[in-house]
Amino acid sequence: MTTPEHPSQPTSQQTPVTFHGAIPILRVRDLAASVDHYVRVLGFATDWHYPGSIASVSRDRCSVFLSEGDQGTSGTWAWIGVSDATALHDELRARGATIRQEPTNFAWALELQVEDPDGNVLRMGSDPRADVPFGPWKDMRGELWFATPEGGWRKAEDGRAENGTAEDGEARNEKAETPASPVSAAPVSAAPELKEAAEQARRAGNLPEARRLYEEAVALQRAGDDPLQLAHTVRHLGDVLREARLPHLAEPHYAEALAIYRAHAGEQPLNQANALRSHAILKHEMGDDVASRRSWEAAARLYQQLDQREGVAESAGWAARLAWRSGDLSKAREWLSAARAASDASSDPTAWKFVREVGLELGG
C-alpha cells in the first residue's frame, strides 16, 4: 500500500522489497553438451540439471542458467565481474575456451570476451589498469571501435590515424594514446594472406582459428575500396560460423555478402551463386525451407547461365526436393528435369547420385 502523497514510497506498515542478484538465462541447443562445456572448459560447477530442459551452473558467486531450446535467443551477452581478467584468460585459453577478444583495457574494466558453443558471449572483467592504454571494442559483428576524446566511439576504418587520415590534433593524440590492434595496424593488402591462412585452419578442422583469421581479413577489407573482395571474405566467414554450428552469427554475414553482390549485379555471378548456395544450406539447417528454396532456385539460375553443371545439379535438385515437400509438384518436376539434365552432362558421380536420390524421393 502507498499513500497519495508518496505513491511510490512504502508506508510504515509495508516492508520494502529487496532485489537479489540477477542470473542470466542462456539458450542452448544441447543442454548436456553445454553443461559439459561450462564445467570442463569454463571451470563452473553444476548446481542442478534437468536433462533436456534447464540447468544451473556456477563458479564462486556467479550463476548461469542454461535452457535447451527455450527462454531467449542464442547469441545472448552476459557480463561477469572477476578478480583478475588476465589470469582468467590464461586459464581458459589453456582449457581450450574460445576467446573472442583478448583482455583489453577500457574505462570501466579490463575485460575479455569468451564465446560458448551456442554463440553466447561472456564478457568477463576485472578492475581497469591505470598503466595500460585503452584498446578497441569488438562488437557483435566482429567490428572494432575506438574510444574518442569526446567520449564517443568510432569504427576502426573511419579516420584511422595510423593511415594518416586523421584531420585534427585530437585524433593524432588518440593514436598516440591508443595501442594499435593487430587488425588496425595491418594494411589492406595483408587480407589475402590472412584468408589463405584461414582456409588452411578450416581444412585442418580448427574453426576457432579460421574464424579469427577471417574476422581480421574482414576488418582490413572494410577499410579498403573493393566491396566484391569484402563480400567474398564475408561469405567465407559465414561458412566457418555455419560449420561451427553458429547459424545466428552466420546469417548476417551471408545477408551482407548477397547485398553486395546484388548491388554489383552481373560482375561476379559465380561468387554470387556460391553465396546463394551457402545461404540456402543455412536456411535449411535453420528449418526455414521457404527461404532455402528461394536461394536454391536463384543459385540454380545463375549456375545455368554459367553452364556450371555440378552447381545446377545440386541447386536444382534441392529446389525440386523442397518444392515437392511444399506441395508444388509442377515446379518440383521442372527443377528435377533441370537437375537430371545437368547431372547427365556432368562427369561428377556425386552429382548423379544426389539427383537420383531426389528423383526417388519424388517418385521416380
* DSSP calls for 332-353: HHHHHHHHHHHHHH---HHHHH
Q: Please give the torsion angle defined by the CA atoms of residues 84, 87, 89 and 95, in that order, rounded to the nearest 10 degrees.
A: -130
- For the whole prediction, is pTM greater than 0.85? no
pLDDT at 11: 54
Judge contact between 183 and 144, C-beta under 8 A.
yes
* Average pLDDT for runs of 10 along the chain of length 364: 52 76 91 94 94 94 93 88 93 91 89 93 92 83 80 65 31 35 54 90 89 88 86 93 86 89 89 94 90 93 93 93 91 92 88 90 80
Using DSSP's 3-state secondary structure scheme, residue 228 falls into: helix
User: What is the phi/psi pair of residue 286, to 5°?
Assistant: -85, 0
| pLDDT number for residue 60 | 92
**Bridge partner residues of 154 (DSSP):** 146
Give the residue ranges of DSSP H helices in 244-328: 247-263, 269-285, 289-306, 309-325
Q: Which domains, and CATH codes, for the chain?
A: 21-99 (3.10.180.10), 222-361 (1.25.40.10)
* Cell 574510444 -> residue: 147
Nine cell digits for residue 351:
552429382
pLDDT for res 347:
83
